[in-house]
Structure 1
Amino acid sequence: MAVFFSLPAPAHGTAGDNKQQSGEQRKSSLVIVTGQFPPFIDENRRDKGYVSRLVTDIFAQVGIKTEFLFVPWGRALRMVELGREAAVMYFDKSEQRAESFTFSDPMLWDNWVLFHLKKKAISWRRLEDLSVYKIGATISYTYTPDFYRLADENVLSVSWQPYDKQGWKMLMAERLDIFANTESAWYYAQQEFSPQNLARLTIHPKPLAAQLGHVLFSKAHPDGDFLREQFNLGFSKLKKLRTLADYFPDKVAVPWPDISASSKNKP
């Protein structure tokens, strides 16, 4: 995340003065890297999507103005991992990501589900039961450790795609039996496909997993820890003023996630 300094330090200032001034100035503006995930994160919307609006309002509580840089998901993670930018949104926790990132307080739960065509009956109790199906999945998303393990072992036949759009098209063309994605991805399908095509789709009632969405902050960026602290402070203030449903229309009466909630994928 790029942080902008509006005024240069005076040439006659001491090192202590410069450090204090830098700390004050870096609070004013920041850039968060992200990918497209309509309507949660959407470059074409004025508010940049539900999650983007929430994050904007959270940082506004502590006087920080946000901008969003939209790039492919894999590149977004890599940019922030290397410290070229300070923050990327939004992702679940994982052991691998914890090596390079710290995590904000959780913003919301989102189920991972299995989309499929109604005419294709899907039956499963354990992940291994899905070995008879062709499964689509999106690179850089957070599936369960068992899902990755079984895919690596070729127990599951997984077709990895860089963007959701390819997965949806393959499912509609019957080149996939299942497309594994978050429940909120249904919004994207509604925007991309006709009502006639949407009527062909359904979601298996058994969820694959559940995850908590976070903003990730780079361990390699000098402002990463500071900005994470500011985010959490702003979020604690916002939760006293707004409800989850103020940002996500389908979350009426759903509470904000508990700060202590585990972000491990649920079975």
Structure 2
Amino acid sequence: MKGLLRAAAIGLLVVGSVKTAAADVTILTMSGRPPFADADWPQKGMFTELVTAALTVGPDPEPFHIDWHGDPTGGFRSVKEKTHDLGYPVPRPLCELSRDKGGPCVAFHFSDPVMELVNLVFVRADNDFEFNSDADLEGRSLCRPKGFYIDDLDRPGREWLTRGVVTLVQPEMPRDCFKMLVAGEVDLVSVNEFLGVQQLFDAQLTEMVLPLPRPLSTQSWHVVVSKTHSRATTLLYRFNAGLAKLKQTDAYAEIISRHLTIYWDRLKG
């Protein structure tokens, strides 16, 4: 494990550095997603450290450089256009069922899952609402911000949107969902656990809003490469091999545990 972590630390030296000709692989990520990817977070975030470690311990490692994109609306366009070789973190939709002709399933190859996040249901604390089965959400209004994937709401066996049994509300920002929840304008908010809890602390809603224990869904997060990239197969093979090697050691769990500890400590002040 020490050897893997030492190698990861060496790789992290290039994060946020000036791009040079020595960087054979260019990677794009977006800041503002603590504890996963954030320019101001220790080691630039949990996901960044995992990606860096996997690239460093994978077969035939190449020098790489990570660029930070400040505008989330820009998405991973430069990865699609091959200005950058790789991008992260990207959630994988249900590509087998996707009807989006221009979406990520069409544009990208996805790596093996780097990690999985749980989507929770958040409700007002003064509401005795229970979520024991999917039927409990039927007839409700559910808020999820615009641009977030909604495949889990319409997956086979659920099909809330297709059947019209759940009303989806999509404001611009996550904070807007929680404002609407507190105001009684929606019944539920569903986002991943970390984003949701962060919103509660940022808006001082921890006494007014709570997450229900039963997860709504899980979603895997990945590294992506353009399907038209000339080295797509090689880049993904090397990353996936390094990720598999990382997961076979204590290093993978240690990285996640360390970042989670920092995250919860910061939330508690």
> TM-score surpassing 0.5?
yes
CA distance in 2 between partners of 1:239 and 1:167 (Å):
35
Structure 1 counterpart of 2:115, one-letter code? L
SS in 1 for 2:235: helix
SS in 2 for 1:38: coil
After the TM superposition, which of the residue ranges 210-219 and 158-167 deviates more from structure 2?
A: 158-167
CA distance in 1 between partners of 2:215 and 2:196 (Å):
14
CA-atom RMSD in angstroms: 3.1
Structure 2 counterpart of 1:155, one-letter code? V
SS in 1 for 2:33: coil
Structure 1 residues 78 and 164, CA gap change in structure 2 (3 angstroms): farther
2:166 corresponding residue in structure 1: 156
Structure 1 residues 46 and 141, CA gap change in structure 2 (3 angstroms): same
SS in 2 for 1:141: coil
1:214 corresponding residue in structure 2: 222
Instruction: Specify the structure having the higher radius of gyration (Cα).
Output: 1
SS in 2 for 1:57: helix
Retained in 2: the 8 A contact 1:33–1:85? no
The runs of 4+ residues in structure 1 deviating greater than 6 Å are none
2:188 corresponding residue in structure 1: 178
Structure 1 residues 84 and 159, CA gap change in structure 2 (3 angstroms): farther
Task: Name the TM-score, length of structure 2 as normaliser.
Answer: 0.70
CA-CA distance at 1:244 after TM superposition: 3.5
1:103 aligns with 2:82: no
Q: How does 1:250-261 map to 2 (within 5 A)?
A: none
| % identity of equivalent residues | 19
1:57 corresponding residue in structure 2: 53
Structure 2 counterpart of 1:47, one-letter code? Q
SS in 1 for 2:170: strand
SS in 2 for 1:47: helix
Q: How does 1:68-217 map to 2 (within 5 A)?
A: 68-90=67-89, 91-95=91-95, 96=98, 97-127=104-134, 129-147=136-154, 149-151=159-161, 154-189=164-199, 191-194=201-204, 197-217=205-225
SS in 2 for 1:161: coil
Retained in 1: the 8 A contact 2:28–2:76? no
Retained in 1: the 8 A contact 2:35–2:45? yes
1:41 corresponding residue in structure 2: 37
CA-CA distance at 1:119 after TM superposition: 0.8
Task: Name the TM-score, length of structure 1 as normaliser.
Answer: 0.71
- The total of aligned residue pairs comes to 228
Structure 1 residues 170 and 78, CA gap change in structure 2 (3 angstroms): farther
CA-CA distance at 1:126 after TM superposition: 4.8
In the alignment, structure 2 segments of 5+ residues that lack a partner are 1-18, 99-103, 261-269
